Amino acid sequence: MRRLALTAVVLSIASCKRSAPNPSALVTDHAAPLVSIVQVKDPAASAQLVKGFYPVEAGAWRWTMKQFEVVLKPPPGAAENGAKLNLKLAVPEAIISKVGPVTLGANINGLALPPETYSKSGDYEYTRDVPAAALKGDAVAVQFSSDKGIGPTSDDARELSVIAVSVGLEPK
């Protein structure tokens, strides 16, 4: 009798049921077409934010790490004429006051673009011409790199550098 009870216990543990199907627990996003200009607040475009971005704040912008990366669709004609890379960003006083001027550069499909230094806090646009040779294909990776940031600290595990609002490739 005791053996029977023990067997029942073991079998009931060993036969733990998997939970029932729950289709609403996972939303399938069919690949939305890539866009040339990404508003970082736009959830639909978040797939193009590859790395280095924190969640949206105030429904408008995202903190970035020192290295951050997006994938963009080259605009029409870019493979022949090139395009203009444009990053709308803000350099917060909290960063400048702690680490001084921040230099931001970009690399598009492996092509390094000239950096720019921001000595004061405020809103900026980092704009650079991109040659046609770097814009072949349906998608290009753009890696941004800033030389300074703050954290992680004991209060905030994040590494914070600049605030990104939008990034895009505009036709020339």
Binding site for another protein (CB under 8 A): 6, 9-10, 12-14, 16-19, 21-32, 34, 43, 46-48, 50-52, 54-55, 65, 67, 69, 71, 107-111, 131, 133-134, 136-141, 143, 152, 157-159
Closer residue to another protein in complex, CB, 23/120: 23
Report the nearest approach of another protein to the CB of residue 34 (Å).
Answer: 6
Report the nearest approach of another protein to the CB of residue 15 (Å).
Answer: 9
CA-to-CA distance for 75 and 51, rounded, in angstroms?
22
CA-to-CA distance for 167 and 39, rounded, in angstroms?
7
Report the nearest approach of another protein to the CB of residue 111 (Å).
Answer: 5
Closer residue to another protein in complex, CB, 43/120: 43
φ, ψ of residue 58 in degrees (nearest 5): 55, 25
Closer residue to another protein in complex, CB, 50/119: 50
23 vs 1, 30, 101, CA distance in Å? 43, 15, 50
Report the nearest approach of another protein to the CB of residue 98 (Å).
Answer: 18
Of 92, 78, 71, the C-alpha closest to 163 is: 92
The residues, ordered by sequence, that sit 6+ positions from 10 with a Cβ below 8 Å of its Cβ are none
